[in-house]
Structure 1
Amino acid sequence: MIFNKGSLASYAAHENLSLGRQHLEAASQYRSEYQRDRDRIIHSAAFRRLEYKTQVFVNHEGDLFRTRLTHSLEVAQLSRTVARCLELNEDLTEAIALAHDIGHTPFGHAGQDALNYCMKPFGGFEHNLQALRIVDELEDHYPAFRGLNLTFEVREGILKHCSSRQAKLLGNVASRFLHEPYTQPSLEAQVANLCDEIAYNNHDIDDALRANLVTVQQLREQRLFNDHYTDTMMQWSSLSQRRIIHETIRRMIGEQIANLIETSSTQLETLQPKNIDEVRAREESMLTMSAGMYEKHLELKQFLRKQMYQHYRVQRMAFKARRVIDGLFEAFNNDARLLPHTVQLEVQRLQEISGNDAGRARAVADYIAGMTDRYAIAEYQRLYNPIELP
C-alpha cells in the first residue's frame, strides 16, 4: 500500500475552511494558520515549563526520565508521520500534539487529582480544560488579545474531554459534548490522541525498567513486548541489554504506528467521508488499530497500571505530591497576601468577574497548575519550612 500522495484528502482539515480565530488577525505572509498556531504554542511559557513537569517521576529523580516536554515532542513526531500517510493536515496535527499536555499540573496525574479535590467546591480542575484556558486566556504576550488566539481546529483538538456543564460555558468549541453520545473532532485531533496513547505506553516501559519498577521477565509476559524482544535477541544477541530494550521499544512503536496507518486507511476507504463535517458528525472515531493490535495495546496498558503506576515508590511520590498541592492551595486560598503581586492582581480580576470566592480559587489554581515540579516544592518549603527564606 502506498501512502503520502502529497495532497490533503477531502476529509482533512483544510485551512481555507477553518472556523477561524476568536479575534480577527491579518494573515501571515510566510506561514499557514496552523503553522502559526504551532509556533505560538512552542513560544508559550506553558510549553517551556513542560521541561520541568513530570511524566511519571518527579523532575529531580533523574535526568533521563521522560518529562511532559519530551513526551509532547515524541507525540508530535509520531502524529506527523500518521497524518502525512493518511493525507491529513500535518501542521494542524503537530500543533494539537504539542499543546495537548500544557494544562497539566506539577507531579503528573497525582497533582491533577489533588488540585481537582481542592477545587471541587469551585468547579473542579481538569487538565484538558486548563490547556484550553491557557491558550484562550492565561498566556499574555499579545497586545490585542488575551491568550494565543489559536484557530478553532487546534482548540477543538486540545479539548479531548469535557462535561456537558462545562461545555455550556465554552461555546462552539465544546458543542460536541453537549449531547450524548458525543461526536468527534477532526481526524487530525484523533491522530494526536491515538499517538499520545502509543507514545506514553511504550516509553513508560523504558522509564519503568530504568527505575527498576518492572523487570524484563515481567514484560515478557506481555505479547507486544515479548514478540519484539525475542526477535531482537535472536538477531542481535551480543548487544547490551540497554540497546536490546531500546530496539525492542523502537520496533513496538513502529508496529503500532504502521498498524494504525494501515487499519485507518482501510477504514477511511470503506467509510468514504466527503469532508470534515462528516468526520465530526460521527459518534465513533474513524481511526483505529486492528482489533488484535488494540488488544495487545490494552494488555500492556493494564500491566503498566498495575506494576508501575501502583508501585509503592510511585505511590509515595503521589502522596508527597498531594501534600505539596494541598498545602499550597490551602495557604494561598486562605490568604491571598501570600501570593506574588502579579497573582494577587489576577485574584482581584477573577473575583470581580465571578463576584464570589470562586474567582480567587481559580486564580490560585491557575498559579499552582502553572508551576514546575521543582518550583512547587520550593514554594512549599518557603511557606512551611521555618528556616527557609521567603
Structure 2
Amino acid sequence: MKNGKSRARLSNPAINKGTVLPPLYGPGDVGRVASVASANDLPPEQYRSQFRRDYARLIHSPAFRRLQGKAQLFPCQENDFFRNRMSHSLEVAQIAKSIAIKLNDQHPYFRSNNINTDLVEFAGLAHDIGHPPFGHNGEEELDRQVIEHGGFEGNAQTLRILARLEKKQTSQYPHSDSVPTPVADGGDCRLGLNLTYRSLAAILKYDRQIPTNEDARKRNGSEKKPVKGYYAAENALVAKIRTHVAGLDVTEGMKTIECAIMDIADDIAYSTYDLEDAFKGGFLTPLSIISMPDAAKQAIVAKVKKRIDENYSDLPGHEREFSLTEYNATLRSIFSGVLNIELPQFNGNGEVDVVDRNAAIISLTADISNNLCNNGYYRTEFTSELVGRFVRAVDVWHLDEARPMLSKVRLSIDAFIAVEVLKTVAFNAVIMSSRLKSAENRGQSVIEQIFQELKEDDGYLLMPEDWRALIEAKPGDTEWKRRAICDYIAGMTDAYCIEFYERILGRSAPSIQKPH
C-alpha cells in the first residue's frame, strides 16, 4: 500500500480457450515406495482415498503426538494458553484447507479439478514434524554437531521422519518378513510411514540437497546456519518423488500447489496467532508497535523490502516500493478496525495534506491498546479478521498448463507485506528478547552436552535398545552413528530432553523406572 492507496491486485489468469489441461492428480501420485501388499492386507478401501490413508497414518504416529511437547513461541511449561507446535500445526492445516476451498470455488481450472483438501490438511499437520526440541536454537545446535555429516535442518528432518524414521514399514516388513529389520546387509531398510509420493511432495518445501560438509557450504555460498533443503541420504527418494509427481524431466526446484498453500498458511498462522500469543504474554501491544522508534521501524522496512523483491520480482518497481511511509500505512490498515485510527487526508500529489504523518494518524489511548492484549474477545476478533483477510488475498499467480500440480499461488502484495511486517515485528520483540533468549540458550547447551555424551565410544549405550541396535548394525560407521544420535535427540520433546539431560548429566538421581 502506497500512501493509503491499494496496489494492483493479483490477476486470476483465465485458461486459454480450447485448451484441454491435464488432470491435477495422476496414478503416479498415489504410488508408494513399498507397493507390494501383504497377503494379510485387506482389499483396497473404496470409501477413502490414498491421501486420507496418509492423513490417518500421520495423525496416529508418535512423531505427530510429540508436537504437543515442542514449543512454538514460548516454552511449553510457561502457560497452557500459549500455542505449541501441535496447536500451531492444527491452525496451519485449517488455514490451508480454507485456502484450497477458496481456490476450488473461484478458479475455473480448480473448480473442475479440485485441490485435494485431505492432502492440503496433511501438509499443514506435518510441516513442523521435523522441528527438534527448543526450536531454531535446537536446530542450529544439531546442525553444528553434524555439519560434517550432512547437516541438520527442520524441513529435511520432516521428510526423513515421514519417509524413514517412523516405525510402520520396512522394505521387507510386513509384506514378506514377519519381523522388521531396519538394517540388512549394511543397507537402510526403513520406509517410515510409507506414504504416497504426492503426500511427500506436499511437505518438500525446499527441493535442493543440503551441502554435505562445511567446505561444501562455503563453496555453495551458504552460511554456517542450517541450510534449507533435504539430506543427501534422501537424494534417491526425492528423485522418485519428482518422477512420480511431476515427470522425468523435472530435476530440481519442484514445489507442488499443496506445498505452496501450506507454506502460505504457515506464514499466515505465524503472523497472526504468534502475534496473539505475544500480546497475551506482554511482549507487545498495538501501541508499542505503532509508536516504535523510526530507527527500529527502518530495520524492519529493510527486511521486508528484501522479501518483497525476492517474491514479487515480476512486478514493476513502483509496485514494490516499501519505505517508512508504506510501513506506517500498513500498520494503519492492520489496526484501524480496533484502535480508532484516523486515516490522513491526501492532496493531489499523494502527500499528507492536513496533519503530520506520525502525530495525527492515530487517535487512541493506552487503555484501548491494552484491551486488545488483555481481553480474549478482542484478541479473537482481531486475529480472526486478519486470518480471514489474508486467506481471501490468496490467489493463483500462475497456472502451469503443462503441469497443473506445479501451479503457483501467492498472497496479494498488500497482504504479503502485512504478513511480513507482523512476522518481523513478532520475531524482533519476542524471539530476540532477553526473556526468551535465556530459555533458548539453556536448551542449546542441553542438546550440545547430550550429543557430546552420546557420541563417546560407549555413550550410545545410554540410548534406548532400538536406537542402540541401529548403531550396532553398522559398527565403525561414524557418519551413521552421528546421524542416529541426531535423529534420536531431534525426536525428543522439550521436557524429555531436559529430563534426559538431568538423568545422565544433571543433579537428578538416575532412575531405572523411567521409560525411554
TM-score by length of 2: 0.65
CA contact (8 A) 2:330 2:417 kept: no
CA contact (8 A) 2:24 2:404 kept: no
Report the equivalent of 2:461. Answer: 337
Report the equivalent of 1:388. Answer: 509
What value does the CA root-mean-square deviation take over the aligned residues? 2.9
Q: Shift of residue 388 of structure 1?
A: 2.2
Alignment of 1:16-55 (within 5 A): 16=27, 18=29, 20-24=31-35, 25=37, 27-55=44-72
Report the equivalent of 2:436. Answer: 314
Q: Shift of residue 182 of structure 1?
A: 5.1
Cα deviation 1:4-50 (Å, max 9, x = unaligned):
xxxxx967742645251111146333210111111100000000010
Alignment of 1:209-220 (within 5 A): 209-220=279-290
Structure-2 change in CA distance of 1:147 and 1:379 (3 Å): same
Q: Shift of residue 63 of structure 1?
A: 0.9
Alignment of 1:147-296 (within 5 A): 147-164=192-209, 166=232, 168-170=235-237, 171-173=239-241, 183-220=253-290, 226-233=332-339, 241-260=375-394, 263-264=395-396, 267=397, 271-274=398-401, 277-280=403-406, 286-296=408-418
Cα deviation 1:139-160 (Å, max 9, x = unaligned):
1134427311111111112121
Q: Shift of residue 116 of structure 1?
A: 0.9
Q: Shift of residue 180 of structure 1?
A: 11
Deviates more, 1:203-212 or 1:154-163: 154-163
Report the equivalent of 1:70. Answer: 87
Structure-2 change in CA distance of 1:340 and 1:168 (3 Å): closer
Q: Shift of residue 327 of structure 1?
A: 1.0
Report the equivalent of 2:76. Answer: 59
Cα deviation 1:237-292 (Å, max 9, x = unaligned):
898633222211111111111111xx33xx3xxx44335x2543xxxx62111122
Cα deviation 1:102-151 (Å, max 9, x = unaligned):
11101111111111111112211111121111111211134427311111
Q: Shift of residue 52 of structure 1?
A: 0.7
Q: Among 137, 148, 156, which residue is 1:110 paired with?
A: 137
CA contact (8 A) 1:202 1:253 kept: yes
Report the equivalent of 1:6. Answer: none
CA contact (8 A) 1:112 1:127 kept: yes
- Show structure 2 runs of 5+ residues with no match: 1-11, 13-19, 38-42, 105-114, 175-189, 212-231, 292-327, 342-367, 512-516
Deviates more, 1:139-148 or 1:217-226: 217-226
Structure-2 change in CA distance of 1:181 and 1:168 (3 Å): closer
> What is the alpha-carbon distance in structure 1 between the residues aligned to residue 440 and residue 329 of structure 2?
29
Q: Shift of residue 184 of structure 1?
A: 3.4
Deviates more, 1:226-235 or 1:51-60: 226-235
Structure-2 change in CA distance of 1:340 and 1:74 (3 Å): same
> What is the alpha-carbon distance in structure 1 between the residues aligned to residue 250 and residue 61 of structure 2?
34
Residue type matched to 1:292 in 2?
D
CA contact (8 A) 2:119 2:202 kept: no
Structure-2 change in CA distance of 1:225 and 1:90 (3 Å): farther
Cα deviation 1:154-177 (Å, max 9, x = unaligned):
11121212543536454333689x
Whichever structure has more helix as a proportion of its residues is: 1
Residue type matched to 2:469 in 1?
L
Cα deviation 1:78-112 (Å, max 9, x = unaligned):
11111112121111111111111111101111111
CA contact (8 A) 2:141 2:448 kept: yes
> What is the alpha-carbon distance in structure 2 between the residues aligned to residue 29 and residue 152 of structure 1?
20
SS in 2 for 1:22: coil
Runs of 4+ in 1 over 6 A off after TM superposition: 237-240
> What is the alpha-carbon distance in structure 2 between the residues aligned to residue 326 and residue 309 of structure 1?
20
CA contact (8 A) 1:168 1:174 kept: no
Q: Among 457, 465, 477, which residue is 1:356 paired with?
A: 477
> What is the alpha-carbon distance in structure 1 between the residues aligned to residue 497 and residue 464 of structure 2?
14
Deviates more, 1:224-233 or 1:111-120: 224-233
Report the equivalent of 2:168. Answer: 141
Residue type matched to 1:153 in 2?
R
> What is the alpha-carbon distance in structure 2 between the residues aligned to residue 224 and residue 38 of structure 1?
38
Q: Shift of residue 340 of structure 1?
A: 2.0
> What is the alpha-carbon distance in structure 1 between the residues aligned to residue 414 and residue 436 of structure 2?
30
> What is the alpha-carbon distance in structure 2 between the residues aligned to residue 180 and residue 186 of structure 1?
12
SS in 1 for 2:411: coil
Q: Shift of residue 305 of structure 1?
A: 2.2
Cα deviation 1:295-323 (Å, max 9, x = unaligned):
22222222222222111112112211111
CA contact (8 A) 2:25 2:405 kept: no
> What is the alpha-carbon distance in structure 2 between the residues aligned to residue 379 and residue 157 of structure 1?
34
Structure-2 change in CA distance of 1:101 and 1:301 (3 Å): same
CA contact (8 A) 1:53 1:106 kept: yes
Report the equivalent of 2:122. Answer: 95
Residue type matched to 1:22 in 2?
V
Cα deviation 1:39-78 (Å, max 9, x = unaligned):
1000000000101111122211111111110011001101
CA contact (8 A) 1:219 1:226 kept: no
CA contact (8 A) 2:139 2:152 kept: yes
> What is the alpha-carbon distance in structure 2 between the residues aligned to residue 105 and residue 312 of structure 1?
21
- Count of residue correspondences: 366
Deviates more, 1:244-253 or 1:156-165: 156-165
> What is the alpha-carbon distance in structure 2 between the residues aligned to residue 99 and residue 147 of structure 1?
14
Structure-2 change in CA distance of 1:387 and 1:254 (3 Å): closer
Structure-2 change in CA distance of 1:159 and 1:322 (3 Å): same
Identity of aligned residues (%): 30
